Homo-oligomer: A and B are copies of this chain.
């Protein structure tokens, strides 16, 4: 993998040029040193076919506050259902939508696996093709409630650079999301350059009938969160990831199985949102496990590409 006449230091600085939105510091240095170590001859070299990287999506690749794009997608669907079937307005969750009961809605939409279950139930019975068209229409039309731009513009620029750097270093890069696999697929190629076959996530159980695939009310088991993440990654790739990135407790198992773990910390109230809720255990484990913690405030020169 070494180019003749190019030293390791020069190659590292060549790699560094590919991460212009990352501030110099420990996180950037550790990432570059790891990529160099597995791609150059030496004790840590890993053949290209074994270079798998996996990233969580919500809060790791795209913004999940004040609510994740999938939560907005589900809210709109609930509203649409309540309008089409007024009887639903007396039942939850539609009642909360109609009444604007923010506290109850926040509880319903906070946890990604439950949210994905909600999407599954709300879209049961349609084909995978119809669901894809619906998700694409959402990504075309919806705007982030605070930042006012399309959700597809709210991927983290530094993470996109990292994905591109890994791809250029012959990693196969996967998304491994607790969110809906087929929902994320509708945006992954455009946002991250990750083709749909490299999107892993939670999903509705599918039924084949007469040449078509229909979504059911059931969820594929396990859900792609917590201990389910390494299970999904193995099912899909037959490997544990060489590098894995996450931001929450639900990513800890995936990070533990990776040679290099990256944990994004949301500590930038000015440019994004500051919160550790749901990440407390992962952050506490980071030192013991040797994970590289990325401070969005300090390690990202730029957050969004707006």
Name the interface residues of A200-234: CB closer than 8 Å to any CB of B: 203, 205-209, 211, 213, 220-221, 227-228, 230-231, 234
User: Is A182 part of the contact surface with B, judged by Cβ < 8 Å?
Assistant: yes
Does B235 lie within 8 Å of A208, measured CB to CB? Answer: no
Binding-face segment, A74-82, A114-122, A151-159, A236-244: A236-244
Does A253 lie within 8 Å of B197, measured CB to CB? Answer: no
User: Is A136 part of the contact surface with B, judged by Cβ < 8 Å?
Assistant: no
Copies of this chain, whole number = 2
List the B residue with the shortest CB-CB distance to A228: B208
Q: How far is the CB of A117 from chain B (nearest CB, A)?
A: 17
Contacts of A277 in B (CB 8 A): none
Contacts A199-B238, A238-B197; A206 near B182 (Cβ below 8 A): no
Contacts of A196 in B (CB 8 A): 237-239
Contact of A206 among B206, B209, B213, B231 (CB under 8 A): B231
Please, how many angstroms separate the alpha-carbon atoms of A236 and B238 in the complex? 12
Q: How far is the CB of A198 from chain B (nearest CB, A)?
A: 9
Please, how many angstroms separate the alpha-carbon atoms of A211 and B240 in the complex? 10
Contacts of A239 in B (CB 8 A): 196-197
List the B residue with the shortest CB-CB distance to A240: B213
- The total of chain A residues at the interface (CB under 8 A) is 35
Q: How far is the CB of A251 from chain B (nearest CB, A)?
A: 13
The proximity string for A residues 170-191 relative to B, scoring 1 for CB distances below 8 Å and 0 otherwise, is 0010000000011001000100
Does B257 lie within 8 Å of A235, measured CB to CB? Answer: no
Please, how many angstroms separate the alpha-carbon atoms of A221 and B231 in the complex? 14
User: Is A128 part of the contact surface with B, judged by Cβ < 8 Å?
Assistant: yes
Please, how many angstroms separate the alpha-carbon atoms of A238 and B136 in the complex? 14
Contact of A230 among B181, B189, B213, B238 (CB under 8 A): B213
Please, how many angstroms separate the alpha-carbon atoms of A261 and B227 in the complex? 38
Does A211 lie within 8 Å of B128, measured CB to CB? Answer: no
Q: How far is the CB of A139 from chain B (nearest CB, A)?
A: 15
User: Is A256 part of the contact surface with B, judged by Cβ < 8 Å?
Assistant: yes
Does A227 lie within 8 Å of B253, measured CB to CB? Answer: no
User: Is A195 part of the contact surface with B, judged by Cβ < 8 Å?
Assistant: yes
Does A213 lie within 8 Å of B197, measured CB to CB? Answer: no
Q: How far is the CB of A204 from chain B (nearest CB, A)?
A: 10
Contacts of A213 in B (CB 8 A): 230-231, 234
User: Is A71 part of the contact surface with B, judged by Cβ < 8 Å?
Assistant: no
User: Is A49 part of the contact surface with B, judged by Cβ < 8 Å?
Assistant: yes
Q: Which of A172, A199, A220 has the most CB of B within 10 A?
A: A220
A-B contact pairs, 9 of them (CB 8 A): A49-B195, A172-B197, A196-B239, A208-B230, A209-B227, A213-B230, A213-B231, A213-B234, A236-B236
Could you tell me which A residues sit within 8 Å of B by CB distance? 49, 52, 128, 172, 181-182, 185, 189, 195-197, 199, 203, 205-209, 211, 213, 220-221, 227-228, 230-231, 234-239, 253, 256-257
Known contacts A52-B197, A172-B197, A206-B231; 13 further A-B pairs (Cβ under 8 A)? A49-B195, A128-B234, A181-B235, A185-B238, A196-B237, A196-B239, A197-B237, A197-B238, A199-B238, A208-B227, A209-B227, A213-B234, A221-B221
